[in-house]
Amino acid sequence: MIPVMGVDGATVAVLGLGRSGRTAARALAAGGASVVAWDDGPAGRAAAEDEDIALRDLSRPGALDDVAALIVSPGIPHLYPRPHPVIAAAWEAGVPVDNDIGLFFRSLGQSDWDSHDVAPKVVAVTGSNGKSTTAALIHHVLREGGRESQLAGNIGRGVLDIDPPGDGGVVVLELSSYQTELARSLTPDVAVFTNLSPDHLDRHGGMGGYFAAKRRLFAEGGPDRCIVGVDELEGRFLANQLAESRADDRVIRISADRKLAEGWSVTARKGYLSELRKGRQVGSIDLREIKGLPGAHNHQNACAAYAVARTLGLGPRQIEAAFASYPGLPHRSQLIAERGGVRFVNDSKATNVDSAAKALAAFGRIRWICGGLQKEGGLGGLLDAAGGVVKAYVIGREAEAFAMSLTGIDAEVCTTMADAVARSAAEAEPGDVVLLAPAAASFDQYDNFEQRGEDFAARVAALA
């Protein structure tokens, strides 16, 4: 655990008692704080009581009178579409509001950093799509290269729940816009921006607010090295803002769809990764046969992970060997079975149009299982990527409306996962891919995208 610094003797309130909230409460207590906590749901309060975390209804008048800071879990809105009443009360009372990410960065290394021969590093990854795979791939490459690495944040363990890193150790964080937007301290050594596409727009008041939340990771703490995906306008803007000159190698540009000439860059075109410095190729990897990284979207993730590994001193051949052994993440273009020449791929994490489009672009003849709670913006941007779809099998509470929006695609309303798997498997031919890439949230039928993916895998396993 990372004890929180600067809170000894203070009363600190925690709002939201999921995993990150309870971990923050323990880390605050380890730092000497008197912790009071609240969750709007009875399940969260019960979990806190099981861990002897003191409860206080923070919505009551005067509940914040003795509180030095309010720590908020990432799922709780603090600005758009409207602030939670407790957060609004904290503003009125002048109580600073922060989250566990801010506590982590202000506390890491305060006590024993000088004892290391090689200072530990923090790598932070953000973006709309691919950040989980990128963070996990960085972690895998470092471990395979003999480096100490811990994976935390929006994936793996809570940031305050990790062990203090050892000599030369690396902490790899996946950070969502919810986490970067509120954190008062953001000081990674290496920061990664994968890409940007519309998501969580109600939470951030539109695309401008969403991008601003991501950009804070680079603007607030001044990382030593910035790795920026430049396949969208926002990435090109960010890279230009960060670089002092065309040759500034503190900024590494990455791309999966364009040739880059300036400075230090890593690109993946037609399945080949190339590292260029000052216009000269200094490293390359053939990504086409790496099963854990299918498709151009995963090749962009590979570019980001490669750039981080090079920044941290690993050689191209070390990275290539680690890529080859990467198993992939559950629910992200995960090959779960192959039967009679038909592959079954679970990309339940494709909860928005952009991520689903990238999954569709990774394969040839596709039997596409899709549907769920549709997000803002419709499916227009997805249809251009659906050229490989032989047929769609639509699930979800609003399957019929979802199917009608798939203009030009043969779509069958199945409603349930069981029917969709059975129908797609019965109609699939050798060489086809049965792909779960919903392009929608899961909450109409499942608690989360993981549960949806597990249901898909179970239905595939049960096929005769």
Cβ atoms of 84 and 58 closer than 8 Å: no
Task: Find out whether 391 is annotated in a ligand binding site.
Answer: no
Pairing of strands 342-346, 433-436: parallel
- Contact at 8 Å (CB) between 297 and 358? yes
Token pair belonging to 23: 């971990």
131 is in an annotated binding site: yes
The annotation status of 129 as a binding-site residue, yes or no, is yes
132 assigned binding-site residue = yes
Helix 295-311 × helix 316-324 angle, to 10°:
140
Describe the crossing of helices 100-107 and 19-30 by its angle, rounded to 10 degrees.
40
Could you tell me the CA-to-CA distances from 403 to 57, 211, 370, 384 in Å, in that order? 45, 31, 9, 16
- Helices (H), ranges, 247-398: 295-311, 316-324, 353-360, 380-383
Residue 20, marked binder: no
Mapped to the 3 state alphabet, what secondary structure does 439-460 carry?
Answer: CCECCCCCCCHHHHHHHHHHHH
SS3 state of residue 125: strand
Q: What are phi and psi of 242, to 5 degrees?
A: -85, -30
Six-digit token string for 89: 């009360």
Is 197 annotated in a binding site? The answer is: no
Phi, psi values for residue 77, rounded to 5°: -65, 135
Rounded to an integer, what distance in angstroms lies between the CA atom of residue 68 and that of residue 420? 53
Strand, helix or coil at 334?
A: strand
130 annotated ligand-binding residue: yes
As given in the structure block, the two tokens for residue 396 are 């979800």
Tell me if 444 sits within 8 A of 372, measured CB to CB.
Answer: yes
For residues 287 and 301, give the distance between their C-alpha atoms in angstroms, rounded to a whole number.
11
Q: What is the DSSP letter of 95?
A: -
DSSP symbols for 135-194: HHHHHHHHHHTT--EEEEESSSB-GGGSPPP-TT-EEEEE--HHHHHH-S----SEEEE-
- In 31-71, where does DSSP find H-type helix? 42-50
Q: Which two tokens stand for residue 369?
A: 């299982």
Q: Are 64 and 58 in contact (CB under 8 A)?
A: yes
Residue with tokens 């969403």: 210
Determine contact, residues 64/70, Cβ cutoff 8 Å: yes
Residues tagged in the binding site annotation for ATP: 127-133
Residues tagged in the binding site annotation: 127-133
